[in-house]
Structure 1
């Protein structure tokens, strides 16, 4: 039986001014994605997560008009585009399985579960040609795809949580939680934020966003009796307190979270907003204090959406690098799926009951 947790309603996260209601924003961004999604290619993780967000928005809003093209657009992966299915050999590719599993959860069509589940299982099935390092992680009970980049804590957890929801098997929750607890021990600093990697001592915005959103996904389904629950909830609450401190007056966060001269970055800001919303709704954070911060974040975020539905000031895909200036100099895109995805997640979090 699936673990479920009660959510808390608060007017702070319900009543929004015209033009900023989550249903309005979700429809705009969801329709934009439905028009320009996959066409004869392998999906990258950012596009996958945007598709996920659009589907979940359509379900939460009961928007069947949007749901139809999002479902039919996936059909080619069973036929003509079968060769574009990502290989199950890396965290950035295995997360693809979350998309067919989302479709399974919405439609209960068994084809989607059969396609998606192996992407979760193979993260713990060590291939013969795996590196010594990969085998070493597996021997300790972690995914052989472990690399200690904070990005991993969304890539791994999202596919494992979807597999749990599609099967009811708690092994997916427990192994994701064990992995998360280890990443917390290795990468979280005393201020609650996370280095991009052990050898990259910078608090990159979207990287921290992956971590914040990943913890929220695990905590939704992790029983309080789990040996990893106390570590993860403590790590989450410590991070959220730090993020509240670094939130700008307009409600946003910066490309390097702790650098006041760094530029505002929208994808990470949306991920932090998502974590705040989830923390308030699930009772992990004080309602008034963080509800107000989440509301300010959302109202700040919507000012960065262009009239055509594209989010601006989105950092491009970013590998780790031990060079602070590298993060300052990253290109800023408009309409980049990293931003479109995390904005859609927020609409879903605000709409879900």
Structure 2
């Protein structure tokens, strides 16, 4: 009788675990990641460049480009890969003036898409361009300010500024440089920076203020950390000295995010404010962090897989008939005023929102 009971218990446990795993693989047609990803990726290909003040490629475009390419590779969509290459090709010639200068954390992350394209095509032009952006993030210019030189003297990027955005902007290009070259200096740089930012910016509850002097948990700001940590952990060697600290920061944040998820699966513009509006870019970033954590076994599937599924299913309902993600908070500088965050404009089709949706779609497609 005892053996039968244990056998039944094991079978129930297996079925339960299988059901949790399936919750991130089985979706209705309209919510299937391959369908959603295709809609958004082809929409991106057809769009115009998003520029900083009409001058340089914006980081939000690079984020979306990365997501579209990840989706194309996962689905082996050769047509889409070619279209993404074709979109980049003029940047070697007539659109070269649109290339961001290599003098700011938001500009240097452009190198990540060049390095991703190199991994797909093996075209050396992409590698040369991408590594230049990765390397100049640590090469101190002659006209660097004293505080920039001080960061470099401590082994950090001279572009360090302790804004939470940086933990995607810095890590994404350094990670890709590591993947292309195998040179550990790139992954070591990213890990060292991440530990600094965690030690300086993460609150005891695992979340992050928009800035030290702005005590509000803005969703998209926190989202850059939520994405940067698992992306770094995916590539960081298991025996790397900084891995335990980064994993601790990631798990602490995920626990807090789970507690603040709204009943419909979304997260609000300010994470801990129940009367604020559901915001899609932050929700997409947090969902991506959950998906990767469940897939890698860092997060308990029984707890986090249903949360990720619920978020994804609701996220899809925010895509309009033009394949634009709606309810995306516009670009937002810090301000010590809660009403300011509540009243921020909401855009449809803003690439800050299109990007994390593509990251989620690609992640849900598995390896």
Quote the offset at 1:225 in angstroms.
Answer: 1.6
The question of 1:23 aligning with 2:60 is answered no
Quote the offset at 1:42 in angstroms.
Answer: 2.4
Q: What is aligned with 2:272? A: 258
Distance 1:191 1:125 in 2: 35
Quote the offset at 1:92 in angstroms.
Answer: 0.8
> Which of 22, 32, 35 is matched with 1:11 structurally?
22
Distance 1:198 1:128 in 2: 30
What is the aligned-residue RMSD (CA, Å)? 1.4
Quote the offset at 1:309 in angstroms.
Answer: 0.6
The 8 Å contact of residues 38 and 73 in structure 1, kept in 2 or not, is answered as no
The question of 1:69 aligning with 2:83 is answered yes
Distance 2:214 2:161 in 1: 13
1:133-152 aligned at under 5 Å gives the runs: 133-152=147-166
Q: What is aligned with 2:334? A: 320
Q: What is aligned with 1:4? A: none
Quote the offset at 1:10 in angstroms.
Answer: 2.3
Normalising by the residue count of structure 2, what TM-score does the alignment of the two structures yield? 0.92
Quote the offset at 1:323 in angstroms.
Answer: 2.1
Distance 1:37 1:28 in 2: 16
1:202-217 aligned at under 5 Å gives the runs: 202-217=216-231
1:104-123 aligned at under 5 Å gives the runs: 104-123=118-137
Q: Name the SS of the counterpart of 2:309 in structure 1.
A: helix
The 8 Å contact of residues 206 and 268 in structure 1, kept in 2 or not, is answered as yes
Q: What is aligned with 1:309? A: 323
Stretches of structure 2 lacking an aligned partner (at least 5 in a row): 1-17
Distance 2:21 2:183 in 1: 32
Distance 1:231 1:10 in 2: 27
Stretches of structure 1 lacking an aligned partner (at least 5 in a row): 1-7
Quote the offset at 1:301 in angstroms.
Answer: 0.6
Q: What is aligned with 2:252? A: 238
Q: Name the SS of the counterpart of 1:13 in structure 2.
A: coil
1:83-162 aligned at under 5 Å gives the runs: 83-162=97-176
Quote the offset at 1:41 in angstroms.
Answer: 5.6
Q: What is aligned with 1:5? A: none
The question of 1:163 aligning with 2:151 is answered no
Distance 1:290 1:18 in 2: 22
Normalising by the residue count of structure 1, what TM-score does the alignment of the two structures yield? 0.95
Distance 2:79 2:237 in 1: 36
Q: What is aligned with 2:189? A: 175
Q: What is aligned with 2:312? A: 298
